[in-house]
Structure formats: structure tokens, C-alpha cells
Structure 1
Amino acid sequence: MSSPEPVHGEASSSEPPATFKSLGLIDPLLDALEKLKYKAPTDIQTAALPPALEGRDIIGVASTGSGKTAAFALPILQKLWENPTGLFACVLAPTRELAFQISQQFEALGSAMGVRCAVIIGGVDEVAQKIALAQKPHIIVATPGRLNDHLENTKGFSLRTVKFLVFDEADRLLDMDFGPVIDRILKVIPQERTTYLFSATMTNKVSKLQRASLSNPVKVQVAGKYQTVSTLLQYYLLMPLKNKDVYFVHLINSLAQNSMIIFTRTVNDAARLSVILRILGFSALPLHGQLSQSQRLGALTKFKSGGRNILVATDVASRGLDIPSVDVVINFDIPSHSKDYIHRVGRTARAGRAGKSITLVTQYDVELLQRIEAVIGKKMDLWAVDKEELALLQARVEEASRAAVAEMKDQNAKGGRKRGREGRGGRDDMDRDDDVVEAGMPSKKKKSRR
């Protein structure tokens, strides 16, 4: 197999700026783009659309917030318009929330052609999904585990008519050990197809997947391996570990009018901090893998609509989700890996907007901070604090922390009694989404499927 042909996403200064029309899109898609207020193609769209519309396989490497979904959705929808036959495309995504978001974008872009999508994910009733599959959707957007379940167990369902296969956030898909499931899916999908692989980074695992699934691809790369945008102001807040909660609340106080996502390392901290903030009068919502799917989608919807302005999340929210109005990202826990930092802070300063990120750094985190600064190629600025206000907050925050711990213990006790009554007929552990990874604990089962 030949090496991918490289295509870089920056146009020559002598060329006029690309438009969606000049890239070769048809009128129904141009009308949809105008309604959605997509004024001009992004770099990844400018570079990917011409070879994609020619029918080439694509490897897209671009940073978060670069418009990757439209870069693969638009050529698929254009080909569907030309040849509207059966189940046309299958998109694999690493998280349930991202799967819903991709489906919504397909339906919005394909509104003029009546595109039907089915979202196939864990945490949702399988019978309802079987009904959706029987209604012959044009596009399936799925997490790999649940899609494989339907391939094995749903009578009459197959991928034999699929013309397009998309791996979105491929590096995350493979980081989460979906490799064996993806291998099984590749065995039952037609060899004669077009394949798009989009990833923020090209790891060894992604390169292996590329060799196994793509044919003579064009490589489109519009960003360096690790990069933050120039409109993002990046700060760190230095504190003793024992006073971390107080510094955190002081920070939230000073940013109270902003829309914020707070990232934690564990499910427990996401839940605990959201309770502390609620007790102190802030409109905060948790988002993590131990919530039910309806709770997770409800939290995202309220946050996106402005009904709540603080989302306390684990890394389930760090990749792919497009929430345009986020003013500030706060890292309550500094990420161990630089690429996780970049994905987290990529939730703000999107599409040319300004934004801030603030990372809480204790005496034990200084080396991690320096490592991240080395990777992003810039020094973060120190975020100033008011020592007098910190002292005044101390007692209130300690009291709220104790109340939050007591409330969570009570909720856990009630949850335990409920699970005991339900026995093994309760929630399907195989559909838990990130609980084990986020909490840093070994799974009781060999693998977790979405």
C-alpha cells in the first residue's frame, strides 16, 4: 500500500479564499450551511473536501474545534444525494455524547434531503434501537461496543450496504481499547467502501488502524501534533494542597458571570465539587460516566442552553463536544498527559473566539505544569488571588465540603438499597461509560463497552 499523499490546510496567499461553493458542494448543502450560519470553510474543510468529493479515502489530523464533523459529513451527504440507497454510512465515535452531537450535525446539514440518522450507543434501551434500525436510517452513528452487539444479536441488521465508514476521534477510540471490537466490525463491513479517519494525534495505534482500513488515502493535516489556539489565555493558580477547595471556590467566585467547564480526574470529585458549588449558591451540574444517559444529556442540554453556567466534568467532556459559549475552562486536577490538557482547554476559545483556561497547581504538580508548558511552547501566567477573601471563605467552604460528603454518603446508601432491590435486573454494567477510567480504578469486568 502506498503512503498517504500529504495535503496541508493553508492556502497560498495568491489564491482567493475558498468558499463552500468553490469547493464543489451542491445547492441543498449550500442552503443548509447558510441557514446554520457557516460563513466560510475551516482549514480542515478546505483541505479535505476536494479529495473527499473525488471519492478518496481521507486521514484528517486536526486540533479540537476545527470543524472536523462537517469535513466528513458534507461529502457523505453529497454522495447520498447522488445515490440515495439504503444504509449509506456508519460513523464510529468514542463517547455517547459525541455520537449524539455528530447525528445532530448530519441531520442539520442534510435537512433539505430528509436525512435520517440512528444513534446506537450504550445506556439506551436496545429494543428502541432495534426499531430505529428497522426504519432504515441513512446514517448510523455508534459507539463500537453497542454497534457490535446489534451486529451479533439483531435479526436482519447488517452493514452490507454501507458505502462510507468514519472513525471520529480515532486516537481516543483506540486509547479506550476498542481495537478488538473495531476489528470485528471491519470483518463484516464491505471492502468496497470509502473510509475517513479523523484524529487529533497520529499515534502508533492510529497508524495501524489506517493501514488496516484505508486504501491509498490522502492525508490532510492542518495543525501540529500538540497546539493550543492563539486566542486562548492560559493561567495557573498555585496553592497548598490542603487549601485546594478554598482556592477553587475563590476562583469560581471571581468568575461567577462566566460560562465554565471544570475538569476533574475522578467521578467522585466531579460529584463532590458540583454539590459544594450548589450548597454555596452556584448553578453547577455534574457530568460523568456514573450518571444515567438521560442525566448526562440533560446536563449537557441545560449547560448549552444557558440554563446552568457551570459544568463539572470528567474527561468524558474533553473531546469533540462543541459547546460554543464556554468562556473559561478550569482544571481542578492538572492532567497527567499534555494531550489531555490540550483537549480540555480546547473546549473554550473555539472558532476564533477568546477564552481563558486556569489550572490549579499544588506543590506536587509543578513538574507536570512545566511539562505541559514545554509541550505547548509557552509559559502560563500566574492567576492572582485576594488573600483576605481566601481567609473569609475558609470556614464557609469547609462547612460546605463536610455537607457535600454527608449528602453523597446518603445518596450512595440509597443507591445501594435500590440496586439491592433490583438485583441483577438493574443497570447494565457493560454499558458504563468511562466510570472505571475516570476513577482510576480497575474494572470488575474485563472490558467496558459503550
Structure 2
Amino acid sequence: MLDTKKRNLNGGSHAKSEAIKKKVKHASPPTNDEASPKPSPTPAPTREPEAIGETNGAVPKSFHELGIIDSLCDACTALGYKAPTPIQNEAIPLALQGRDLIGLAETGSGKTAAFALPILQALMEKPQPFFGLVMAPTRELAYQISQAFDALGALISVRTAVIVGGFDMVPQSIALGKKPHIVVATPGRLLDHLENTKGFSLRSLKYLVMDEADRLLDLDFGAIIDKILKVLPRERRTFLFSATQTSKVQALERASLSNPLRVSISTNKYQTVSTLLQSYVFFPHKMKDHCLVYIMNEFASKSAIVFTRTVNETQRLTILLRALGFGTTPLHGQLSQSARLGALGRFRARSRNILVATDVAARGLDIPSVDLVLNFDLPENSETYIHRVGRTARAGQSGHAISMVTQYDIGIWQRIEAALGKKLGEYETEKEEIMVLGERVEDAQKMAVREMKDLHEKRGTRGATLRGRRVGRGGGGKRGRDEMDREEG
């Protein structure tokens, strides 16, 4: 690991947090918009979704007080869920009443358990195959949701099946033939199975969940979702969860939900949690790599996600940081599914403490204890910024988000600050220390250029062969391939 001067980087989290706060010239003020939840009578069919409001007052001390049965409460305790989050506090009692729900909440708010617990409790009362369907925008999120159902439903031996693009359809057809209780799927591959897998039907489905609905629609899954909705039973409960409320999401609400209640935890779609400390560094573009290495050295031994804009830059920075002794793994949409899951596994297990990723990692993924999000490349829009920085400071923990701003990024950064409604402080750096890193960083840059050139040459020579083999070797046909392309975002 690079050391430009001696520091205690493995000290207690409180001491480290205080040290970082001192380096930020203007700390962002905490925000906490709250309102009182009051159950309302069932709205008339022609009314808009009834808003229940935001959390206010005393939060229940346990899931039992929300109406969750003892066996599922025990599962929550075993998983370390100490108390319901605001979205769980609001959504679970209403879901247990059998109402359709629209849940609007910031990323990292505990939405998965908010819909998984009521579904599992209903499943225990009347068990049947194909009881619930959850649609998610990405393969990684689908696997994560499935793992949550498996963990929460372990005591009742719940069976789940994950149906996503990037894998052969035959093993998935076999999994569906075993009649799982819960199916978690990306829309494109699910429609493939509904149209082509003999004997597979969701006509008896009781619960439908559309998670990250705004992202589903941003990825142009709208037409596919419409086809899926046409083959689902009308008599079902539907939960729609989204981080933002858009016109597309509103249209989906009207098409798929019946007399829903709206639970909104955040009234500002650009709001970040109060435990997140945000700042920026301003450097000339030619010094970006040097500044990156300096910050990674500042957070040595901490876990970090470095966001880039392109696959090429993700690979280049991975090589550069590895050459300088950092434990780094890449994540982007051009990796195979097994490679993507492997990268997430290594990062979660801390065998690699730096994940360099495109925006495929910006939403939905639940990676506990991420200490730092570093925006190496600023996102094109403010909403993506919110989702990126939401990878840290989750579940009440603290976290840091640092954005690298060059002379070419000033306009983008000003739009992000305008969306947040506040000016963010500058993270203080020691410019002399950054300059000392110059020679070693430049050597690593040269190594990265050579390896990237070799990588592109290898891809070029085998590209035609791979394209010829693509159909029928796990892509699952055109819809599966299109789905993989959309997931990259």
C-alpha cells in the first residue's frame, strides 16, 4: 500500500469519522423530513393512490409490533434486523391488511424486507407454488432479493427460483418445474419462459412486486412488463417500490395496482441520508489518477466503490490500482454473469476492498459496510449521483462520498449541487503528497496502457468467434441479449 506519511488508518471508526469531518471545510447539514402515519379508509376506485405520509413519532420496538409472526421475527433477529426501518414501519402493517402499495423511499432504506416479510407471512397461512413474483431491473439485484427471501424464509423452507438473462434457459426451466414458492426475475427472461417453457404459468399468482420500478422503466422494460401483466391474474396483491416518482411510474401504477396506498418516506427525490458526509476534490484533469491514488491511500484498509462512466475506464483503473498494491476488482456489464457475481462476492468478503464499477453497481445492490464512494467520473445526471452515493451510509451507518471535479466537470457538479439544494464542502488534500506520488503513478499508468492494449487485441481476435457462438450458449435468445445490454445503463 502506498504511504506518503505515517497514519493510523486502522483505528476506530469514530476516530476516523471525526478526522474525515475535519478535512471537509463545509459539512452538509443533516436532513430528516418526517410526517405522521395515519391509516386511512379504502379509497374509491377512481381516486388517486392515497398518501399515508412519512414516518413521525415513536418507531415500533420490534417487528412483532408491526404484526409479523414469531417465526419471522426470529429470522429478523438472526439476520441482525434490530428494529424496523421507516419504510418497513409504514409498509408492513398496510401490506398485512391486504392492500396494494406504492412505496417511495431512498436507496438503502430496507425495501426488500418491507415486501418480503408480508409475502412470507401470507405464504405460511396458505402455502402454494408460484405464490409470489418479484421483478427487478438487474441480475445482481434479482439474486440479492432471492437471498433475502431464502434467509428470511429459512425456518419455513421457502423455495425460490432466480430467472435472469445471461444463463442457459434449460436449468431455469428445470428450476421452474420444481414449482418454487417465489420467483425473482428480470422481465425479459421471465417473458421468454412464459412464452416458451412448457407447463410454466403464473395464473395462480397471489403477490406481484415490481422493485426499482423507475429503473425498470428507464431500461425500456415497459413493453415487456405490459405483456407479463396481461397473463397474470387480476385478483392479486401488487407492491410497487421505487426511489423516484416519474410519469412512467405513475402510468405503471394506474395499469397494475388496484386502489393502492402510497407510502412515501422521502419527499425529495434528491435527498441523501443525514449520516452521509459528502464532499468534492477539484484538480486538473491530467492529475485525476494521482488524486485517485492519494484518496485510496487516505482510506487504506477501508472498503470503497470507485464509479466510472465507461467499461474501458473501469478496466484501466483496476489495472492501475492493482499495480500500486491495492486489492481491486472490476464490475461492469461486459463481464460474464459468473465473473460479476464473483467480483461482488470478493468485495463483500473483503478479499478485495476496492470495487471499480460502472453504474451497473449504482442501484439496488446491498453491500454492507461500504466506507467510501468515490465518483472518479461524475454521472451525467443528479439522480444517478444519488444512487451512487447511496451505496454507503446504509442502515443508519455513517459513510463518505467524494466526487472528483475537473475543469471539464464544473457545470455537471453545479447541477448536482442545485438538485441537492446545498453547496458541498471541499475535501482537503495535501498537494505536496500528491506530487510525490507522481513517478509511481505514471509507471502504473504505462502498465495499464500496455495491458489494455493487449486486452483489446485479444478481444478483437476472438470477437467474431464469440459472436458466432452467442446464440444458444446461455444468452437465451435475442430478448436475453437485449436484457443484458440494458442492464449496463
Q: Distance in 2 between matches of 1:377 and 1:341?
A: 14
Identity of aligned residues (%): 59
Assess if the C-alpha contact under 8 Å between 2:137 and 2:487 holds in 1. no
Which of 204, 207, 221 lines up with 1:164 in the alignment? 207
Match of 2:367 among 315, 320, 323: 323
- Which residue of the partner structure matches residue 270 of structure 1? 314
Count of aligned positions = 437
Give the deviation of 1:255 after TM superposition.
1.5
Which residue of 1 is the match for residue 430 of structure 2? 386
Instruction: Flag the 1:423–1:20 CA change in 2: closer, same or farther, 3 A.
Output: closer
Q: State the match for 1:261 in structure 2.
A: 305
Deviation for aligned residue 1:16 = 6.5
8 Å CA contact retained: 2:60, 2:89: no
Aligned pairs for 1:410-421 (under 5 A) are: 410-421=454-465
Cα distance between partner residues in 1 of 2:309 and 2:374: 12
1:225-236 equivalences in 2 (<5 Å): 225-236=269-280
Runs (5+) with no aligned partner, structure 2: 1-45
Task: State how far apart, in whole Å, the 1-side matches of 2:321 and 2:284 are.
Answer: 20
Secondary structure, counterpart of 1:22 in structure 2: helix
Q: Which of 201, 218, 242 in structure 2 is aligned with 1:175? A: 218
Does the 8 Å CA contact 2:320/2:444 hold for their aligned counterparts? yes
Specify which of 1, 8, 11 is matched with residue 56 of structure 2. Answer: 11
Counterpart Cα distance in 2 of 1:232 and 1:3: 34
Aligned position for 2:135: 92
Q: Say yes or no: does 1:431 pair with 2:471.
A: no
User: How big is the shift at 1:172?
Assistant: 0.3
Cα deviation for residue 438 of structure 1 reads: 5.1
After superposition, the C-alpha distances for 1:338-371 in whole angstroms (9 at most, x for unaligned) are 1111110011111111111000001121122122
- Equivalent position of 2:7 in the other structure: none
User: Aligned partner of 2:89: which letter?
Assistant: T
Q: TM-score, normalised by structure 2?
A: 0.86
Report the alpha carbon displacement of residue 241 of structure 1 after superposing the two structures with TM: 1.2
Question: After alignment, is 20-29 or 137-146 more displaced?
Answer: 20-29
Structure with the bigger RCO (C-alpha within 8 Å, sep 6+) is 2
The 3-state SS of whatever aligns with 1:45 is helix
Deviations 1:143-198 (A, max 9, x none): 00111111111111111111111100000000010001001101111111110000
CA distance in 2, matches of 1:308, 1:76: 35
The Cα of 1:422 is off from its aligned counterpart by 4.7
Question: Which letter does structure 1 place at the counterpart of 2:220?
Answer: D
Range that drifts further, 382-391 or 312-321 = 382-391
SS of the residue 1:226 aligns to = coil
- 1:128 equivalent in structure 2: 171
Call closer, same or farther: CA 1:271–1:434 in 2, change over 3 Å.
farther
Equivalent pair of 1:9/1:222 in contact (CA under 8 Å):
yes
Residue 243 of structure 1 pairs with residue 287 of structure 2 = yes
* Residue among 358, 372, 376 paired with 2:420: 376
What is the CA distance between 1:18 and its match in structure 2?
A: 4.8
For 1:438 and 1:381, locate their aligned partners in 2 and report how far apart those are by CA, in whole Å: 31
Residues 137 and 213 from structure 1, CA distance in 2 versus in 1: closer, same or farther, beyond 3 angstroms?
same
Q: Which amino acid aligns with 1:351?
A: A
On the 8 A contact 1:316/1:434 being kept in 2, the answer is no
Residue 233 of structure 2 is matched in structure 1 by 190
- Asked whether the 8 Å contact 2:51–2:261 carries over to 1, the reply is yes
Deviating more after overlay: 108-117 vs 365-374: 365-374
| SS of corresponding position for 1:65 | coil
After TM superposition, the score normalised by the length of structure 1 is 0.94
Listed as ranges, the gaps of 5+ residues in structure 1 are: 440-450
Q: 1:106 aligns with which of 142, 149, 153?
A: 149
Q: 1:267, 1:435 within 8 Å by CA — same for their partners in 2?
A: no
